[in-house]
C-alpha cells in the first residue's frame, strides 16, 4: 500500500509527492505520539508503584514472548486485526489528506494488520514508561522509524 506513494503515482493523481510524503510522516509521528502518550498516561499509575527493574523485567519477558510468537513457536500466532488502510482514499482525497490519514493509522500501529511483535513491545514500553511525556517520546520514535521507509 505504501508503495503507492511514488513521485510518478502522485503526479498521475494530480498531487505533489513531497507534500503527500510530508503529510504521511507528520501523520505517522502524530498518531504515534498521541497513542504512546496516552499509554504512558494510563500506565503511569502502575509505573509509580513499581521499580524500574520490575518494569524492565516485564518488558523483557514480553519481548521474549513476542519473539516466540513471531517465530510461530507452539503453533501460536501474533494477535492482530484484519484491517488495512482504505485504498479508496487515494482516489477520493487529495494526496496530503490521504497521506496524513494513512500516517495516523499506521503510526498508531495497532489499528491495521500487525506483522511483528515489536509493535506491541514499543507500546508496552510506552505504557511502562511512567508518564505521558516519555510515552510520547517513545511513540514519536516509533512513528518516525515506521514512516521512514517511504
Summarised one tens digit per residue, pLDDT across range 98-113 is 889 889 988 998 888 8
Contacts of 80 (CB under 8 A, 6+ apart): 113, 114, 115
Instruction: Report how far residue 122's alpha carbon sits from residue 114's, in angstroms, rounded to the nearest whole number.
Output: 12
Whether 105 is in a domain gets the answer yes
In angstroms, the CA 95 to CA 84 distance is 18
Residue bearing cell 500466532: 77
Q: Give the number of domains in the chain.
A: 1
Q: Could you tell me the pTM of the whole model? A: 0.85
Cα dihedral across residues 2, 141, 64, 120: positive or negative: negative
Q: Is the separation of the CB atoms in 76 and 69 below 8 Å?
A: yes
Residue 13 domain-assigned?
Answer: no
pLDDT at residue 35 in the model: 96
In whole angstroms, give the CA distance from residue 86 to residue 146: 18
- Give the structural domain span for 70: 23-147
pLDDT of residue 3: 61
Amino acid at each position: 500500500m505504501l508503495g503507492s506513494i511514488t513521485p510518478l503515482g502522485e503526479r498521475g493523481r494530480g498531487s505533489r509527492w513531497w507534500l503527500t510524503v510530508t503529510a504521511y510522516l507528520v501523520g505517522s509521528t502524530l498518531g504515534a505520539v498521541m497513542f504512546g502518550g496516552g499509554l504512558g498516561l494510563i500506565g503511569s499509575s502502575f509505573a509509580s508503584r513499581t521499580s524500574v527493574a520490575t518494569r524492565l523485567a516485564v518488558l523483557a519477558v514480553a519481548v521474549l514472548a513476542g519473539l516466540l510468537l513471531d517465530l510461530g513457536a507452539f503453533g501460536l500466532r501474533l494477535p492482530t486485526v484484519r484491517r488495512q488502510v482504505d485504498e479508496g482514499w487515494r482516489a477520493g482525497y487529495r494526496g496530503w489528506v490521504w497521506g496524513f490519514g494513512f500516517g495516523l493509522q499506521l503510526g498508531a500501529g495497532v489499528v491495521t494488520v500487525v506483522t511483528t511483535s515489536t509493535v506491541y513491545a514499543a507500546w508496552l514500553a510506552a505504557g511502562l514508561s511512567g508518564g505521558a511525556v516519555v510515552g510520547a517520546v517513545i511513540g514519536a520514535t516509533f512513528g518516525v522509524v515506521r514512516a521512514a521507509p517511504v
